[in-house]
Structure 1
Amino acid sequence: MKKVKIINGHIITPYRIIKNGSLLIKGDKIELISEVDIETLDYQIIDAKGNYISPGFIDIHIHGGGGHDFMDGTEEAYLKIAEIHATYGTTAMAPTTLTCANEELLEAIDLYKSANLKNTKGAQFIGLHLEGPYFALNQSGAQDPKYIRNPDVEEYKEVIAQGENIIKRWSVAPELPGAVEMGKYLKSKNIVAAIAHTDAIYEEVLDAVENGYSLATHLYSAMSTVSRRDTYRFAGSIEASLLIDAMDVEIIGDGIHVPPPLLKLVYKIKGPDRIVLITDAMRAAGMPEGDSILGNKETGLKVIVEGGVAKMPDGSSFAGSVATTDRLVRTMVQMADIPLVEAVRMISKTPAKVMGVEKNKGTLTAGKDADVLIFDENINIKITMVNGNIVYTSPDFA
């Protein structure tokens, strides 16, 4: 059994940093964390060189990267996305679909099953996230409007049956006819029900939360805010997500989708135990800027990547992000003035809780999966380890 000891690093726990600590790994599990260097025999030694030792980053909303998209319909896309994002610190991810025909959702499930068996060089898959097609047309954003529709009981039950134990979350506009009933069904199947691409007012979100919904997908993006109807003001889904304590929220922490003042506001209201940092990355993540495609490479929407973000060609909206998980943490620390320990918690412990994998992932704790990072003070990744296996080493960290 492989045994590894990482020494001379600052270990990030959910609530503090252990200076000059050491971490022992046996096989694919964390064996021990210590504040001193423990004498061992037959362990491979990794010198962290005074850098941080962190739990791996968990991305629960991601579409692509490295020129690939999960909607491309190939195993290669799944495997290459997992590999490219591991170089930026992602050790676990939830592959995410886009609004599409029902047949494509079923195909995505089958591809997940087959690719998951071959995924040994990148971030681990922890379940499929279906984003759409049950959205408010007015909040479609970069989702293809021709596929947007109301929840169909027979349709979503067929998809869930085929994706049993694979589909882990589904994003839906809660105000649509049948959406509340769908939320109840999702909860009964232990699938995280999230509100997304929605024009809902506060009362509709509250009703949804009381019937199974527990997460807000990419807060501030494609969500309703305060509106006036017949001279009266109504709180929207953004305000509801912030106000309802039972709700967790995702934020695309690239500093662009949600600018620093709003990052600070969300942090102040929800705190690190209710915030999940996500990339929402599309295929252009990790690629040069310029023209790209959101979704299937043959039938997807043309977009432009410039200034560190993807946009619709007419500039009407953002079209997914090109963020990587290291950038999320860097942004939260450097632009939103959030402590490193709490920024890391929002990309490790909190998403593990939301996705129901906290028994095995999310913290550097004895007995949990050895998903470990070493990075410097600017969150530049030096080593990425998934289940005890090193899948990436920075060229300057040999």
Structure 2
Amino acid sequence: MTQRVTGKVVTPTGVIRQGCVELDGERITAVAEYPAKRDGHWIVPGFVDMHTHGGGGHTFTTGDADAARAAAAFHRRHGTTTLLASLVSSPFELMRTATAAFAPLVREGVLAGVHFEGPYLSAARCGAQNPEFLRDPSTDELGRLVAEGDGAVRMVTLAPERPGALDAIKLLTSHGVVAAVGHTDATWEQTRAAVSAGASVGTHLFNGMRPLHHREPGPVVALLEAPNVVCELVADGVHLHDGMLTFAAAVAGPERIALVTDAMAAAGMPDGEYELGGQPVAVADGVARLARDGAIAGSTLTMDAALRHAVTAGIPITDAVRMVATTPARAVGLGDRVGALQTGRRADLVVLDDELTVVRVMRAGTWLD
């Protein structure tokens, strides 16, 4: 049955001020002008969050399938129609059990895949990662996870300076898994070597990384200047200054910047005591920090809030929409299916009012409650 959604339609190339999205079943069949009716609402593609640990009081980090369903449902209400379930550094057995638990959810379409943020990370730049579980990359471990996941494992973040990292990157990319650079004390040269080996994402750029220096540019510059690397940014005003947000967006362009939430279970919940990777987290004024040392411990962000923050910071709405949908979809290999209001894509869209607050969400042609 054909449906038509009208309003200010944001496409990858611009805004159709009086436009419509037509769909039949689960697919978009046309995006065009529709001057017969004016509608003040924005129509944007469903958001794609390639880095989130949970939300709505539920977490992905324990490998619990019911919690994963609930966390995904929470983020869908905020417009995120596609997401990866991100884990934090964990023992190998937890990585295996989480892969087994989440693989059916990937096949069902609840999740778009699993993202392992660690445990192959730098102790010096571990941030809120549990240092107890950090270790060198293991191609044996990764090979087993990829095989047992049967397509569920979509991205792995690692530190390229750790022994075995380059071999791990080559293994991952040979199986179609995205290799990301993050939580790293790597030099510029080491980061460039990781990119040459196949790494194509920078995990929450600036955060958990050796800082910029004019005599040692480090991983930030190496990732920003690599034309095939998509750089994640957490646009919450806490992880990075708005000036750095707009600077990175200007340098890399919206086609290479992906806004992510890095959300943990406390997203959408009251301030209080929470947990991340076996470590106590205190949330005050919406900011999550490790109880032991005050390190930022993920966020309480949602993708609609990230979009609003980016636009308020001065990023044009067409660019910001690319950064919350089109670019992350392409970064994790889903750009031909989701992330843009284009003919043939899955009919995922978000209706926003003029304050960019979510009014309605559609996923695969069905309006969500």
Q: Give the TM-score range, shorter chain.
A: over 0.9
Equivalent position of 1:41 in the other structure: none
* Pairwise CA distance, 1:19: 1.3
Distance 1:257 1:237, change over 3 A: same
Identity %: 35
Q: Which whole-Å deviations, capped at 9, do the CAs of 1:63-118 have from their partners, x for residues lacking one?
A: 10011111233221111111111111101001111100111111111111233456
Equivalent position of 2:257 in the other structure: 275
Distance 1:164 1:117, change over 3 A: closer
Pick the aligned partner of 1:259 from 241, 248, 251. 241
On the 8 A contact 1:6/1:48 being kept in 2, the answer is no
1:105 matches 2:104: no
Q: Tell me, in whole angstroms, the C-alpha distance in 2 between the residues paired with 1:118 and 1:48.
A: 37
Q: Which whole-Å deviations, capped at 9, do the CAs of 1:355-390 have from their partners, x for residues lacking one?
A: 111111111111110001100122110111110111
| TM-score between the two structures when normalised by the length of structure 2 | 0.96
* Pairwise CA distance, 1:227: 5.9
Q: What SS is found at the alignment partner of 1:125? A: coil
Counterpart code for 1:133: P
Q: Tell me, in whole angstroms, the C-alpha distance in 1 between the residues paired with 2:169 and 2:97.
A: 23
Q: Tell me, in whole angstroms, the C-alpha distance in 2 between the residues paired with 1:147 and 1:321.
A: 21
On the 8 A contact 1:242/1:266 being kept in 2, the answer is yes
Equivalent position of 1:42 in the other structure: none
Aligned residue pairs: how many? 369
Q: Tell me, in whole angstroms, the C-alpha distance in 2 between the residues paired with 1:16 and 1:189.
A: 35
CA RMSD of the aligned region, Å? 1.7
Equivalent position of 1:208 in the other structure: 194
Q: Which whole-Å deviations, capped at 9, do the CAs of 1:154-183 have from their partners, x for residues lacking one?
A: 222111211231111110000100001111
Equivalent position of 1:63 in the other structure: 53
Pick the aligned partner of 1:322 from 300, 305, 318. 300
On the 8 A contact 1:310/1:322 being kept in 2, the answer is yes
Please list every run of 5 or more consecutive structure 2 residues that lacks an aligned counterpart in the other structure: none
| TM-score between the two structures when normalised by the length of structure 1 | 0.89
Pick the aligned partner of 1:23 from 17, 21, 24. 21
| Alignment map for 1:313-392 (pairs within 5 Å) | 313-334=291-312, 336-392=313-369
Q: Tell me, in whole angstroms, the C-alpha distance in 1 between the residues paired with 2:314 and 2:61.
A: 36
Q: Which whole-Å deviations, capped at 9, do the CAs of 1:124-156 have from their partners, x for residues lacking one?
A: 421111111101111111111111000122222
Equivalent position of 1:139 in the other structure: 125
| Alignment map for 1:1-398 (pairs within 5 Å) | 2-7=1-6, 9-36=7-34, 49-116=39-106, 124-226=110-212, 233-295=215-277, 300-334=278-312, 336-392=313-369
Q: What SS is found at the alignment partner of 1:158? A: helix
* Pairwise CA distance, 1:239: 2.3
Counterpart code for 1:188: S
Q: Tell me, in whole angstroms, the C-alpha distance in 1 between the residues paired with 2:62 and 2:168.
A: 27
Q: Tell me, in whole angstroms, the C-alpha distance in 1 between the residues paired with 2:302 and 2:134.
A: 28
Q: Tell me, in whole angstroms, the C-alpha distance in 2 between the residues paired with 1:214 and 1:190.
A: 12
On the 8 A contact 2:281/2:297 being kept in 1, the answer is yes
Moved more, 312-321 or 203-212: 312-321
Q: Which whole-Å deviations, capped at 9, do the CAs of 1:270-322 have from their partners, x for residues lacking one?
A: 11000000001000001111211113xxxx21111123321112453100011
Q: Which whole-Å deviations, capped at 9, do the CAs of 1:12-53 have from their partners, x for residues lacking one?
A: 011211112122111000111220268xxxxxxxx9942001
On the 8 A contact 1:22/1:37 being kept in 2, the answer is no
